[in-house]
Chain A
Amino acid sequence: MYDLLIFLTLIAVGYSVGTLTEKRHYRSIHKREKAFLYLPAVTIKAVDYPEEKVRSAELVYGSVVISIDYFKKILAGLRNIFGGTVKSYESLIDRARREALLRMKEMAGDATVIVNVRIETSTIARKANKEGVGCLEAIAYGTALTLEK
């Protein structure tokens, strides 16, 4: 009986706080993405720029470790039975990647363009569905080019 109560409380806490933090995080992501529109990040290696105009080239990177909330974990566990897309994990990984990209851009400062951007994710702790800390790291890195005006 008490076990069930604890379980339900955990789900309720996970759902309410988790949804709130996700909304807040998305708001902040949207705001900062707009602010960084002047700094394009591209995955190609060579953009059309005159070679002699490049003032500096520098490696920039940003990373974030993010974890899933209890409610979504249960949801994903249920989803495992029937199969199909696991929406709760999609938004988690989406947030992590975008946050990593934004941190990379923050590191680039007043660069003109970031070329050859690579994004990687890795689980650094135990398996996400098992008991314990289920979290993943997203890292984005690229070369920031600063051109002379």
Chain B
Amino acid sequence: MIITNIETVPGKTIVEHFGLVSGSTIRAKHIGRDIMASLKNLVGGELKGYTQLLQESRNQAIDRMIEHARQMGANAIVNVRFSTSSVAQGAAELYAYGTAVRVQ
């Protein structure tokens, strides 16, 4: 599966469009990480626990998007976008979407 965030796959030609594919995941952080984060919040800097959590979630969203594209019979996804939104206190939604295509 080739994934790009430009309209084409350079060096290949698109032969078929399948339409929009997307994957999303909603993650809540657990209380241990929250306590660590509030301690870290005092001195500032990177919150490694959260970074890791969001990275895992984003990978999961991408995996779901790929799964969706595979079911349609695509072999590439172009013009991929990410978006993040907090749906509830302490929970975040990671969303990835793009256009499934077949390239040659």
Contacts and interface: CB of A to CB of B under 8 A. Distances in A.
A58 B12 CA distance: 13
- B interface, size bucket: 35 or more
B51 interface: yes
Given A51-B10, A59-B80, A141-B5, A66 B45 contact: yes
A56 B103 CA distance: 13
Interface residues of A, number: 51
Nearest to B59: A61
B20 interface: no
Interface of A: 10, 13-14, 17-18, 21-22, 25, 45-46, 49, 51-59, 61, 63-70, 72, 92, 99, 115-116, 118, 120, 122-126, 132-135, 137, 139, 141-143, 145
Interface of B: 2-7, 9-11, 34, 37-38, 40-47, 50-51, 54-55, 58, 80-86, 89-90, 92
